[in-house]
Amino acid sequence: MSFSPHAALASKSHVHCLTASAKSIESQFHFVLLHPHKKVVMKENYLDELNERQREAVTHINGPLMIVAGAGSGKTKVLTTRIAHLMRNGVDAFNILSLTFTNKAAREMKERVEKILGGSEARNLYIGTFHSVFARLLRAEAHRLGYPNDFTIYDADDAKSVVKTIVNELNLDDKHYKPNFVYNRISAAKNSLMGPEEYQLDHLVQQEDMRANRPLIGKIYDMYAKRCFKNGAMDFDDLLFKMYVLLKSFPEVLHKYQHKFKYIMIDEYQDTNPAQYEIIKLLGAVNENICVVGDDAQSIYSFRGATIQNILQFEKDYDDVKVVKLEQNYRSTKSILSVANEVIAHNKGQIEKNLWTDNTEGDTIKLVRTMTDNEEGKFVADTIAEQKLRNHYENRDFVILYRTNAQSRAFEECLRRKAIPYRIFGGLSFYQRKEIKDFVAYLRVTMNTRDEEALKRIINYPVRGIGKTTLEKTIVLANEHNITMWEVLERAREFGFKGGTVEAIEAFVVMIKSFQAMLTTHNAYDVAVVVGKSTNIVKELFNDKTTEGLARYENVQELLNSIKEFTETPDEEGELLDNKTMGTYLQQITLLTDADQGNDEDSNVVKLMTIHAAKGLEFPVVFTVGLEETLFPSGMSINTREELEEERRLFYVAITRAKARLWLTHANSRYRFGNLVQNEPSRFLEEMPEKFIDRSYAGGGSVRNAFGSGSTSGWGGGGNMGNMFDRMQKKTPGQPVSQPSSPKPAPRPTSAATTHVPTPGFAPDDPAEMEPGMQVEHQKFGFGTITAMEGAPNNRIATVVFPKGGGEKKIMLNYAKLRIVR
DNA sequence: CGATCAGTCTTTTTT
DNA sequence: AGACTGATCG
């Protein structure tokens, strides 16, 4: 069940697939698109569109099937065609379950199946993420587990907040028992199907917690689970864990779904965790018609409990597994693919495969070093502008990929400065904004008064005189009498609240009850509008004329729009889902991530996202940035071989997103936690074959700064360089910019000559005047001779031989400043 | 009781 | 640098 696109947040238009894939579908299935009513034609020859391996996978109907699908090998096409093929061969759509990891993937799959089949039958398929499908099944069966059918789904913030509450209740120090840490521990336990009791009895786990000096995590876990249950809430991990418990404890339920889902397909199988694995195993046990698709080289979610073992051992889990390898890549140029293949070859123990392509060799991969993170941003923005002119790309053809969300800022600024429209995916999601969470909390409490997290948010927002003291008293009373906070509030007078407080509480209770009464007679949107009015939230935000206040007001309006759109969009979810209730809306928004709202295909913008978020996507031009030690690979993941290999797979994913052109950038120094640090280039850069790489330098910064000589004399020129220098001086007054914490980077072969001291009064000359044969001076590499000149007039690249500076370099004249000697 | 200010901590990656 | 927390003042 892919959820209907939440286009109100992005655009009004209906979804199309991502540019690239949409194009490829069109070319393959153009007949259908031109004559949408003649689907019959499609049905006859859909197998012709496949290569031999793909056809082999599609036409394998019964029995376990593992498709090892290399990057860009047409995986989604195979999956969708296979669904069509199953149905063509008499399988009922109601009996097919297809699980993905992201809503985006689910949506794309659903759309593509609809294009092949026509929409009416496709509607009956179960296509969705693990979490959303299980949430849906759990809603139907929740009563068996003692949960209300309208259970709330806690997002990570809610869950951490519960953890924090419990840590405080136990009088533990939340500096030591950090909610984040504890929650991750609980999450890991659930993902390995370990409940609180087992957790506390498991010696290994207890040993780990003892060693970490946090022996009470098991206790916290136990209380956490009980609290969630009391609140009528499940967290993300519960959607898997409770699903497993449900199937395991109720044979009749298991039986029902085993016979419903006769054919099961799982995308991105390499990213499944033990909970998902066991559920699939249970569901598929009768028919064993399990088709898994994955690529061990793209397993990047072990931090979420995924184990690569699931795919590596699939063949051993079932008898007579049919294995099909898709090894032809249709996406990337030979250069890009060669680099990717060589990089990933540094990992051990993979499923053997040989990814190849018929595509042209294409451009070399550009490896660019800059002095600072800001210059990196500037370089990327400039290059995008240049590429648009030179190669007629549009904004939507570009993506900037980074390891951590925090890196987006520098690029945002530079893109904004050049008036290049962009959009960031991930990061703080719309639904995580405070004003949205506050508003949504009203809806949550209205739906489920046991939802304490939501209740605590709104009990005094907007201010209504129910302060901290009252809140704490309520919590204590609730715990004492073992009832919910809401019940305490309902009986406030009885519990001895007095005067203004009791009036405020009663008014609050009456208000929420009036919302509840509306639920039966009005749709979600009408209720939400009344909530906005009665609570005064909308008015209050409207009266706040600050910039942020305005933005908050607009956000709430947008939320209302999205609810409206939700209630008005025809149901695509199949019969089982009881339509447009507030409950399904709330479920949708908590399971919808920001990346999923990115189906805004009409907007012609540059995209920025983490590499994780980019999995499954492709772009004509890719910039992978921040390729530096401690950043990528992350400093957190260089301690074991397994961690490092996962980082390498991540790099592999980044490379293989690119269709035509790929830039890899890294900066000498960048701001992290507010101070300047220097990083060595990523070790991964050394693993790439030189043959396909073009190295150049976009560093205009001062070498002496970077190495801490600190002298300010003799700096005549270089506008942007001057700014940078000023800023560095401010950051560390009197202190050269160097790094006490990390060892001095070993001199690297490519930048051996770091000793050149520019001639006093060094000033760069106009790049336009430079020609091959000239003698020039570079701030870092010293004196050299220009041997060649290339590039557009506004972005000239000189090849310069520096006898003492490490040989031949490509210098981008827009960034690096050269002085003409003669 | 609530608002303002200084001090602390942060960054993996996400359903 | 910025978000978040806790202490102090109106």
Report pLDDT digits (tens) over A517-529.
998 888 889 999 9
Exactly one of A54, A76, A307, A470 is catalytic; which is it? A76
A411: pLDDT strictly greater than 90:
yes
**Residue A385's pLDDT band (boundaries 50, 70, 90)?**
very high
Mean per-residue pLDDT of chain A: 81
Are the C-beta atoms of A335 and A78 separated by less than 8 Å? no
> A547-558 pLDDT, tens per residue?
777 778 888 888
A17: pLDDT strictly greater than 90:
no
One-letter amino acid identity for A683? Answer: R
Q: Residue A129 pairs with which residues in a beta bridge?
A: A100
The whole-number pLDDT of residue A254 equals 97
Question: Does the annotation count A444 as an active-site position?
Answer: no
The more confident residue out of A581 and A805 is: A581
Distance A168 CA to C9 C1' (A): 27
The more confident residue out of A734 and A340 is: A340
The whole-number pLDDT of residue A758 equals 62
Q: What share of chain A is helix, strand, coil (3-state, %, to 5)?
A: 50, 15, 35
Mean pLDDT of A716-744: 29
The whole-number pLDDT of residue A432 equals 79
Mean pLDDT of A535-549: 79
Q: Which residues of A691-710 are buried (b: 16+ CB within 10 A; e: fewer)?
A: ebbebbbbbbbbbbbbbeee
The whole-number pLDDT of residue A607 equals 93
Q: How far apart are CA A227 and CA A221, in angstroms?
A: 10
Asked if strand C contacts A673 at the CB level, meaning under 7 A, the answer is: yes
DSSP secondary structure string for all residues of A443-456: HHHHH-TT-HHHHH
Question: Does the annotation count A657 as an active-site position?
Answer: yes
Q: How far apart are CA A803 and CA A693, in angstroms?
A: 22
Distance A748 CA to C7 C1' (A): 50
| Nucleotide nearest the Cα atom of A671 (by C1') | C1
Q: Which two tokens stand for residue A625?
A: 């940035």
The whole-number pLDDT of residue A705 equals 31
Distance A174 CA to C6 C1' (A): 13
The whole-number pLDDT of residue A602 equals 63
What residues contact residue A728 under an 8 Å CB cut-off, 6+ apart? A676, A705, A737
pTM of the model as a whole: 0.79
The more confident residue out of A211 and A427 is: A211
* Out of A174-188, A374-388, A706-720, least confident range: A706-720
The whole-number pLDDT of residue A14 equals 30
Mean pLDDT of A292-299: 94
A420: pLDDT strictly greater than 90:
yes
Q: Which residues of A78-99 are buried (b: 16+ CB within 10 A; e: fewer)?
A: bbbbbbbbbbeeebebbbbbbb
**Residue A180's pLDDT band (boundaries 50, 70, 90)?**
confident
A734: pLDDT strictly greater than 50:
no
Mean pLDDT of A152-156: 90
> A436-445 pLDDT, tens per residue?
888 999 999 9
Distance A703 CA to C7 C1' (A): 45
The whole-number pLDDT of residue A349 equals 79
* Closest C-alpha to A661, from A424, A374, A331, A326: A331
| Nucleotide nearest the Cα atom of A592 (by C1') | B15
* CA A625 from centroid of its chain's CA atoms: 16
> A637-678 pLDDT, tens per residue?
888 899 999 999 999 999 999 999 999 999 999 988 878 889
Asked if strand C contacts A412 at the CB level, meaning under 7 A, the answer is: no
Q: How far apart are CA A138 and CA A591, in angstroms?
A: 14
A298: pLDDT strictly greater than 80:
yes
One-letter amino acid identity for A132? Answer: S
Mean pLDDT of A578-589: 78
A143: pLDDT strictly greater than 80:
yes
**Residue A30's pLDDT band (boundaries 50, 70, 90)?**
very low
Mean pLDDT of A88-101: 92
User: Which chain B nucleotides are covered by protein, judged by CB under 7 A?
Assistant: 1-3, 9-15
The whole-number pLDDT of residue A601 equals 60
HSE (CB half, 13 Å, CA atoms) of A386? 15
The whole-number pLDDT of residue A699 equals 58
A747: pLDDT strictly greater than 70:
no
The whole-number pLDDT of residue A347 equals 93
Asked if strand C contacts A733 at the CB level, meaning under 7 A, the answer is: no
Query: In this structure, what are the phi and psi dihedrals at residue A485, rounded to the nearest 5 degrees?
Result: -55, -40
Q: How far apart are CA A106 and CA A625, in angstroms?
A: 28
The whole-number pLDDT of residue A751 equals 34
**Residue A378's pLDDT band (boundaries 50, 70, 90)?**
very high
The whole-number pLDDT of residue A765 equals 73
The whole-number pLDDT of residue A499 equals 81
A194: pLDDT strictly greater than 60:
yes
| Nucleotide nearest the Cα atom of A164 (by C1') | C5
Q: How far apart are CA A711 and CA A722, in angstroms?
A: 14
* Closest C-alpha to A218, from A253, A177, A274: A177
> A760-796 pLDDT, tens per residue?
666 667 767 777 888 887 766 677 888 877 666 666 7
Q: Residue A154 pairs with which residues in a beta bridge?
A: A235
A179: pLDDT strictly greater than 80:
yes
Three-state secondary structure call for residue A534:
helix
> Which helix (H) or strand (E) segment is A79 a member of?
helix A75-88
Asked if strand C contacts A174 at the CB level, meaning under 7 A, the answer is: yes
A711: pLDDT strictly greater than 60:
no
The whole-number pLDDT of residue A475 equals 86
A714: pLDDT strictly greater than 60:
no
| Nucleotide nearest the Cα atom of A674 (by C1') | C1
Question: Does the annotation count A207 as an active-site position?
Answer: no
Q: Residue A681 pairs with which residues in a beta bridge?
A: A628
Report which of residues 90-109 in chain A place their beta carbon less than 7 angstroms from any atom of strand B. 101-103
The whole-number pLDDT of residue A644 equals 93
* Out of A3-12, A307-316, A369-378, A643-652, least confident range: A3-12
Question: Does the annotation count A578 as an active-site position?
Answer: no
Exactly one of A262, A657, A670, A810 is catalytic; which is it? A657
Question: Does the annotation count A169 as an active-site position?
Answer: no
Write down how long chain A is: 822
Query: In this structure, what are the phi and psi dihedrals at residue A570, rounded to the nearest 5 degrees?
Result: -60, 150
The whole-number pLDDT of residue A99 equals 95
DSSP secondary structure string for all residues of A286-337: TT--EEEEE-GGG---GGGT--THHHHTHHHHSSS-EEEEE-EESSS-HHHH
A733: pLDDT strictly greater than 70:
no
Q: Which two tokens stand for residue A808?
A: 């031949």
Three-state secondary structure call for residue A663:
strand
Angle between helix axes A75-88 and A103-117 (nearest 10 degrees) is 50
Exactly one of A75, A437, A456, A457 is catalytic; which is it? A75
* Closest C-alpha to A509, from A529, A523, A521, A494: A494
A706: pLDDT strictly greater than 70:
no
